[in-house]
A and B are shown apart, each in its own frame.
Chain A
């Protein structure tokens, strides 16, 4: 067990290195948690559009695009189409300019069609929307936190009070930031009579949406029929930059931590040249020395790595709470990520320490004992 405290012979230096490694691993974990959050968001979204075709005007998707509701009937008449549901999406805070992640959305849906879009409606508390509901809403987890809403509480949407009838479960997807209201209500309060922002098409059993979409597009003028594949590619593209930034920062952090370790071990070896030479003169083999030095690196990197991950986990836990209270979410910390980063820091630490350790193991004892 003595190898555990050996790196701490020089306590200040060891602690500095340990913190260097810890900070690197901390930052890498945070960036990893952010990247995980975004890719989870994307995969939840892909899950929700699986097997569906989104019809939209040639301009925007989340807002702006306008389609006449009457066109749903035309689409329903096309071969291969099982059902078509119109929805009206409007931003909850239209004046908000900068949004971290996804904006809060008001989604107008025909209540009787919700079960078509969501085979298992993720209701946490209360109920879903019913036919005949007026000024009732179902609220996603982030919005619930943002307004600290109780069940049966009131939420103001577009200057109109809506009663909360149910809460959605937190799913890590876009629904967390949505408020569902009946479509006719949405059209009324946002002055969009007879209009929807998109139409979701559900193909008949056994019909491939990728094949059906171009067929629909041919028959309806001025509208896009976007397939799940195309949509998910767009989503992946839009989060690509985020992932690049987070990943790049994470890698940079790991490199900085690694350099701190490399610096310390190299310095330690230089400083101990005479002692290492003596050990070899006393019969330590190259392998003995290599293991001694590399285990120094391993102890420092695993201690630093553990410290970094533990502090990042604690930080993410509290920061997520803080963000959730304000209706935001930014980090997803998974066990896979925690273990992955830990293993990476330990393996990288050992690998980095091998460089000076190899040099140390080749110190010439005869030269060292002459004081050279």
Chain B
């Protein structure tokens, strides 16, 4: 069985006549250490599929397996644990808590894992250094550029040593040059740490760099 696998995944929203099928009968295998790009037009179901793969949402039917375990059947507690330790999301925006410094933001999941404060700080320093923000530990999100904020989100994924990184249009709100920087950072994380990365994007640069591209059309793989 592949590292990440989903079988006949369907996700409906709403009830009765107004039901929207955002993802329809999607089966997909992702090997460990892969860099996969999900692409497709707006409304094609990329965000929904990404949420399903990371157990942030539950499917209407079908199952998701991570390392052979059916995470779609996890209890809420186990899902929280999964999100704290193994699976990381990078969202298009709103990635950071505005009242926390970037160091605190980076190690927030470790706080929920009850990791000791000193250990958290040390870890946070290290990963922020790695994404090039080693000198801005005490800064607040409002003092950062869009690209820097995305770097913090990537650093946060590194801090908890997650082996699956799910990025939903991480370059959507960035200019071309910065978007490239972030894409390169994700590629580097994938290469250096062996983190499995699934990026939802229609940015041609990301699509071009990804080892494998899967296109969604009306919730189905085409």
Chain A residues with a Cβ under 8 A of chain B? 6, 9, 274-275, 278-286, 288, 365-366, 369-371
Q: Specify which of A278, A279, A281, A371 lies most central, judged by the most chain B CB atoms within 10 Å of its CB.
A: A281
6 A-B pairs with least C-beta separation: A283-B84, A283-B83, A285-B80, A366-B57, A9-B99, A282-B109
CB-based contact A281/B112 at 8 Å:
no
Please, how many angstroms separate the alpha-carbon atoms of A288 and B108 in the complex?
Answer: 12
Can you give 19 A-B contacts (C-beta < 8 A)?
Answer: A6-B99, A278-B96, A280-B83, A281-B83, A282-B84, A282-B89, A283-B81, A283-B85, A283-B112, A283-B113, A283-B160, A285-B77, A288-B112, A365-B56, A369-B51, A369-B89, A369-B168, A370-B47, A371-B94
Assess whether B89 is in contact with A284, with CB atoms less than 8 Å apart: no
Question: Given A278-B94, A280-B80 in contact, is the A369-B56 Cβ separation under 8 Å?
Answer: yes
Q: Is B91 an interface residue (CB 8 A)?
A: yes
Q: Taking A278-B95, A369-B91 as contacts, is the C-beta distance between A285 and B56 under 8 angstroms?
A: no
A248 to B54, CA, bound (A): 54
Q: Judge whether A286 and B76 touch: CB under 8 Å.
A: yes
Expressed in whole angstroms, the Cα–Cα distance for A365 and B83 within the complex equals: 11
List residues of B (107-147) whose CB comes within 8 Å of A's CBs.
Answer: 108-109, 112-113
A366 near B83 with CB under 8 A, answer no
In the complex, which residues 35-88 of chain B have their Cβ closer than 8 Å to any Cβ of chain A? 47, 51, 56-57, 76-77, 80-85
Instruction: Check B156 for interface membership: any CB of A closer than 8 A.
Output: yes
Q: Within the assembled complex, what's the spacing in Å between the Cα atoms of A349 and B116?
A: 29
Q: Which B residues are closer than 8 A to A by beta carbons?
A: 47, 51, 56-57, 76-77, 80-85, 89, 91, 94-99, 108-109, 112-113, 156, 160, 168
Min CB distance B112 to A, Å, is: 5
Residues on B with C-beta less than 8 A from A284 are 80, 84, 112
- Min Cβ gap A365→B in Å is 6
Asked if residues B94 and A282 are in contact (CB atoms below 8 Å), the reply is no
Q: Which residues of B contact A9 (CB under 8 A)?
A: 99
Instruction: Report the bound CA distance from A369 to B153 in whole Å.
Output: 14
Most chain A CB neighbours (cut-off 10 Å) among B77, B94, B95 = B94
Q: Which B residues touch A282, using CB under 8 A?
A: 83-84, 89, 108-109, 112, 156
Q: Complex formed: what's the CA distance from A369 to B57 in Å?
A: 11
B82's nearest neighbour on chain A, judged by CB, is: A283
Output the least CB separation between B75 and chain A (Å).
Answer: 10
Instruction: Determine how close the nearest CB of chain A comes to the CB of B222; give it in whole angstroms.
Output: 23
- Contact for B108 among A6, A279, A286, A371, CB less than 8 A: A279
B109 touches A283 (CB 8 A): yes
Measured between beta carbons, the chain A residues less than 8 angstroms from B77 are 285
Q: How far is A322 from B2 in the complex, measured between Cα atoms in Å?
A: 83
B56 touches A274 (CB 8 A): no
What residue of chain A has the Cβ atom nearest to residue B87's Cβ?
Answer: A283
Residue of B nearest to A368 (CB): B94
Complex Cα spacing A84 to B76, Å: 80
Q: Please, which residues of chain A bring their CB within 8 A of the CB of B109? A: 282-283
Q: Which residue of chain B has its CB nearest to the CB of A369?
A: B91
Q: Are A366 and B51 in contact (CB under 8 A)?
A: yes
Smallest CB gap from A285: residue in B = B80
CB distance from A265 to the nearest CB of B (A): 16
Residues in chain B near residue A275, CB distance under 8 A: 97-98
Chain A residues in 8 Å Cβ range of B84: 282-284
Complex Cα distance A366/B59, Å? Answer: 12
Chain B residue, CB-CB nearest to A276: B97
Q: Check B89 against A281 for contact (C-beta < 8 Å).
A: yes
Residue of A nearest to B93 (CB): A371
Separation of A369 and B54 alpha carbons in the complex (Å): 13
B51 contacts across to A, CB distance below 8 A: 366, 369
Which A residues are CB-close (under 8 A) to B85?
A: 283
For the complex, what is the distance from the CA of A6 to the CA of B98, rounded to whole Å? 12
Q: CB-nearest residue of chain B relative to A371? A: B94
In the bound complex, what is the Cα–Cα distance between A301 and B48 (angstroms)?
Answer: 41
Query: In this complex, what residue of A is CB-closest to B168?
Result: A369
Additional A-B contacts beyond A369-B89, A369-B91 (8; CB < 8 A): A275-B97, A275-B98, A278-B91, A278-B96, A283-B109, A283-B160, A285-B112, A286-B80
Given A281-B89, A283-B83, A285-B77, answer yes or no on A369-B112 (Cβ-Cβ < 8 Å): no
List the A side residues contacting B98 at CB < 8 Å.
275
Q: How far is the CA of A370 from the CA of B80 in the complex (A)?
A: 19
CA distance A6 to B104 in the complex (A): 13
Q: In chain A, what residue has the closest Cβ to B48?
A: A366
| Residues in chain B near residue A274, CB distance under 8 A | 94
Rounded to whole angstroms, the CA-CA distance of A280 and B76 in the bound complex is 11
Among residues of B, the one whose C-beta sits closest to the C-beta of A282 is B109
Cα A341 to Cα B82 in complex, Å, equals 43
Chain A residue at smallest Cβ distance from B96:
A278
Q: Roughly how many angstroms separate A288 CA and B56 CA in the complex, as a whole number?
A: 17
Across the interface, name the chain B residue whose C-beta is closest to A367.
Answer: B57
A275–B95 Cα gap in the complex (Å)?
9
Check B89 against A285 for contact (C-beta < 8 Å). no
CB distance from B152 to the nearest CB of A (A): 12
CA distance A26 to B113 in the complex (A): 40
Contacts of B81 in A (CB 8 A): 283
A285 to B47, CA, bound (A): 22
**Measured between alpha carbons, how far is A369 from B167 in the docked complex, in Å?**
12
Asked if B83 and A369 sit within 8 Å, CB to CB, the answer is: no
